[in-house]
């Protein structure tokens, strides 16, 4: 089960589904706005985000200040050395990418063992990770998992083909593992698996998009709407 003294557990006890956003670059005002708009969690993306070290820490500080939104940090890999600093600053949880075996899960959980109030979420995004999902989620200290649909489908040889039977089988295997171990599960919705399909399948953490993509889409939509009524 998710740690009972964590802020993630508190949120899950209040809401059936938590809605999240990837935070990709320094923008404290956007963090505040996301909090006001009702997002339950933001993930500071240290894997694909565009931050200097100073900007990364400043962004984490902005996330922590937003009291009503959970602050999660996605690491670039399995190097857990920076974790103590992030947790001391007040991060509510750590997200570790590319966890594929129980040994890898055990190693990252061991590094988090003394941080009883912080949550550890692993990302299952490979065939190997899906195969060992129940072993991984059975590790004490692992609070849950995100499914990485793009990387998982790519590893299966059919990038972004979420209707491909092996992808559906891998996703179902991870879902069964989460249900069997009582661990929280989440992913990024897509056309094949929209929110209304994922929630009944047990997904409670939904990463809707990144702040960068959301802003880009809104800007493009605004320009296209205006161009459509402007004289040519």
Is 69 within the bounds of a domain? yes
pTM over 0.85: yes
Contacting residues for 35 by C-beta, under 8 A, at least 6 apart? 42, 66, 68, 69
Residues 7-34 pLDDT 10s? 899 999 999 999 999 998 888 888 888 8
DSSP 3-state of 1: coil
pLDDT category at 147 given cuts 50, 70, 90 is very high
Is 139 within the bounds of a domain? yes
Tell me how many domains the chain contains: 1
Is 189 within the bounds of a domain? yes
Residue 38 is part of which domain span?
Answer: 7-229
Is 149 within the bounds of a domain? yes
Specify the higher pLDDT residue, 188 or 32. 188
Is 2 within the bounds of a domain? no
């Amino acid at each position: 089960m998710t740690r009972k003294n964590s802020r993630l557990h508190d949120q899950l006890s209040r809401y059936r589904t938590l809605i999240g956003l990837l935070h990709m670059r320094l923008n404290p005002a956007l963090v505040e706005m996301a909090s006001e708009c009702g997002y339950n969690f933001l993930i500071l993306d240290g894997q694909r985000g565009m931050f200097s070290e100073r900007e990364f820490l400043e962004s984490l500080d902005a996330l922590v200040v937003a009291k009503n939104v959970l602050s999660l940090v996605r690491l670039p890999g399995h190097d857990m050395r920076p974790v103590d600093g992030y947790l001391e600053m007040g991060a509510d949880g750590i997200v570790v990418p590319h966890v594929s075996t129980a040994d890898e899960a055990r190693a990252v959980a061991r590094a988090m063992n003394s941080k009883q109030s912080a949550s550890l979420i692993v990302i299952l995004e490979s065939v190997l990770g899906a195969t060992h999902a129940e072993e991984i989620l059975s590790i004490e200290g692992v609070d849950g998992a995100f499914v990485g649909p793009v990387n998982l489908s790519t590893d299966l040889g059919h990038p972004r083909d979420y209707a491909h039977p092996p992808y559906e089988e891998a996703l179902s295997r991870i879902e069964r593992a989460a249900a069997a171990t009582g661990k929280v599960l989440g992913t990024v919705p897509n056309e094949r698996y929209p929110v209304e399909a994922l929630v009944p399948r047990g997904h409670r953490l939904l990463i809707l998009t990144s702040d960068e993509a959301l802003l880009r889409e809104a800007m493009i939509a605004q320009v296209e709407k205006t161009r459509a009524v402007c004289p040519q």
